[in-house]
């Protein structure tokens, strides 16, 4: 049996035996076939069955439910979409407000489902803290970000500035410069959620076939090594693994994010740190850090990983010493008392990035293909929205969900923007990341000259702009 339990801290903590479901070994004729038993595939199946119980739905999974990003992520359930400010900027004020409210309600929608279906996934809605916690420029950038949100019609009930003193009431970092608090975020145990969703849709009549990697797919059919599935609708729900299903790899690149988990920390240590209400937190830098206090009192902390030439998947997530120590350094800057703490788990995963650096949801009635992807590392919550949206699109329901700017109403896959060919992608990615690393190192040195700090920020900001 594959070593699925070693995928992440989350999979290691599952109490259930990780026994594979039967593989697909016979021909199927169904209404909907979903490729991938991760969040997007399972949420799509769930909402389809809720609204149309008569549908015959099959899910084919290359490994097991939770093998991909769904079982490896940092456990942030966000009421946000990557690039939402750009997506919503052109809408009339009233419509923009309604779209923000839809996004912000994602954690509450998930809470309703897990309560209704009896899924225990350590759900705690404590909001999220975006901290200026390593250098003063972070406070300036966060203030600018907050001003932009308020200019779009949001207010203090959505995002609230915290003074250093107010920040210290929730999280005590070594150098607090202030921060932003947003209430629309929960922390979860990701593997418990994905495994619970899999059991839920099975109870609803959805068949899940594991150890059944798809070898070919097209409009109306999917093929595995031993059998094929005919279907009116095909839903490729593979996110970071899109390169395995041509031509999706043209539109979706796998990039990696890497995480570590500490040993369980004492109550006294947590009294020093805070995070007593299930808050997620990040130190606001272009390193893209994220962390939470787990239900068993560990610190889970992650940061941006990498990109492999030609969009190759990373399969070996035995993190190198330098990969682990970078994350130790980053959380040690926030919490000096943890610099020498034991790290018990380290892992990573592949996530999907669209060329527009924002998600998309589409449904092509002519070809019978529907997909939701491009979450860019924010897919725990976005996949729930995606599943609801695909269900309404497939069932041709006119709802608020299908009228959003991230929904592509026509054109199918041809409406997506393709990535540039190699080596342009690899060169571009590495140039951007190197500018981020240089900026972070320069700003983290509080003695660096003002002109160096300004130049590093300007260069990194310019490079980041190329991502949009």
Domain covering 4-73+190-250+356-415, topology? FAD/NAD(P)-binding domain (3.50.50)
Distance CA 351, CA 368 (A): 25
Strands (E), 98-165: 128-132, 160-162
> What would the CATH number be for the domain defined by 123-183+254-353?
3.30.9.10
What is residue 91's DSSP assignment? S
Kindly report the CA angle at 237 between 286 and 42, in degrees rounded to 5? 105
Taking only the tens place, the pLDDT of each residue in 389-444 is 999 999 999 999 999 999 998 888 999 999 999 999 899 888 999 999 999 999 99
Distance CA 220, CA 31 (A): 10
The answer, yes or no, to whether residue 468 has pLDDT greater than 90, is no
Taking only the tens place, the pLDDT of each residue in 170-226 is 999 999 999 999 999 999 999 999 999 999 999 999 999 999 999 999 999 999 999
Taking only the tens place, the pLDDT of each residue in 65-104 is 999 999 999 999 999 999 999 999 999 999 999 999 999 9
Q: Which residues pair with 345 in a beta bridge?
A: 261
Give the domain ranges of the chain.
Answer: 4-73+190-250+356-415, 123-183+254-353, 424-465
- Distant-in-sequence, close-in-space partners of 133: CB < 8 Å, separation ≥ 6: 173, 174, 175, 176, 177, 179, 283, 284, 333, 334
Burial of 411 (0-12, 13-18, 19+ CB in 10 A): exposed
Burial of 144 (0-12, 13-18, 19+ CB in 10 A): exposed
Count of residues in the chain: 468
Give the count of beta carbons closer than 10 Å to the beta carbon of residue 284: 24
Task: Answer whether 0.95 is exceeded by the pTM.
Answer: yes
Taking only the tens place, the pLDDT of each residue in 443-463 is 999 999 999 999 999 999 999
Q: Which two tokens stand for residue 3?
A: 């070593």
Distance CA 351, CA 79 (A): 18
């Amino acid at each position: 049996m594959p070593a699925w339990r070693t995928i992440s801290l989350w999979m290691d903590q599952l109490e259930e035996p990780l026994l594979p479901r039967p593989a697909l070994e016979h021909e199927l004729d169904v209404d909907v076939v979903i490729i991938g038993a991760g969040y997007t595939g399972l949420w799509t199946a769930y909402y389809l069955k809720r609204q149309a119980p008569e549908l015959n739905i099959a899910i084919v999974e290359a490994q097991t439910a939770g093998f991909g990003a769904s079982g490896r992520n940092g456990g942030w359930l966000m009421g946000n979409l990557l690039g939402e400010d750009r997506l919503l900027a052109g809408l009339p004020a009233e419509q923009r407000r309604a779209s923000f409210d839809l996004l912000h309600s994602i954690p509450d929608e998930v809470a309703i489902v897990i309560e209704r279906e009896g899924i225990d996934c350590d759900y705690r809605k404590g909001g999220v803290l975006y901290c200026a916690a390593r250098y003063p420029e972070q406070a300036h950038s966060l203030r600018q970000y907050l001003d932009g949100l308020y200019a779009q019609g949001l207010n203090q009930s959505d995002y609230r500035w915290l003074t250093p003193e107010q920040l210290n009431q929730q999280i005590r970092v070594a150098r607090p410069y202030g921060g932003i608090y947003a209430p629309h975020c929960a922390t979860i145990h990701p593997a418990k959620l994905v495994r619970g969703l899999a059991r839920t849709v099975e109870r609803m009549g959805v068949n899940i076939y594991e150890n059944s990697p798809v070898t070919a797919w097209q409009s109306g059919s999917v093929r595995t090594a031993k059998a094929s599935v005919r279907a009116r609708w095909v839903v490729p729900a593979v996110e970071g693994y899109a390169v395995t299903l041509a031509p999706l790899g043209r539109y979706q690149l796998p990039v990696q994010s890497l995480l570590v988990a500490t040993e369980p920390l004492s109550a006294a240590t947590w009294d020093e740190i805070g995070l007593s209400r299930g808050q997620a937190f990040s130190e606001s830098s272009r390193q893209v850090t994220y962390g939470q206090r787990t239900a068993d009192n560990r610190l889970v902390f992650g940061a941006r990983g990498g990109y492999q030439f030609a969009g190759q998947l990373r399969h070996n997530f035995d993190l190198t010493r330098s990969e682990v120590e970078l994350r130790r350094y980053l959380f040690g800057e926030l919490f000096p008392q943890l610099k020498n703490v034991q790290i018990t788990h380290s892992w990573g995963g592949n996530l999907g990035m669209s060329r527009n650096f924002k998600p998309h949801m589409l449904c092509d009635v002519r070809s019978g293909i529907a997909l939701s992807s491009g979450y860019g590392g924010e897919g725990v919550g976005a996949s729930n929205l995606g599943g609801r949206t695909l269900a309404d699109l497939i069932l041709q329901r006119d709802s608020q969900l299908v009228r959003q700017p991230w929904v592509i109403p026509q054109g199918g896959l041809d409406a997506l923007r393709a990535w540039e060919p190699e080596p342009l992608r690899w060169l571009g990615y590495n140039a951007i990341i190197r500018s981020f690393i240089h900026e972070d190192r320069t700003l983290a040195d509080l003695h660096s000259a003002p002109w160096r700090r300004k130049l590093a920020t300007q260069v990194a900001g310019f490079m980041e702009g190329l991502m949009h």
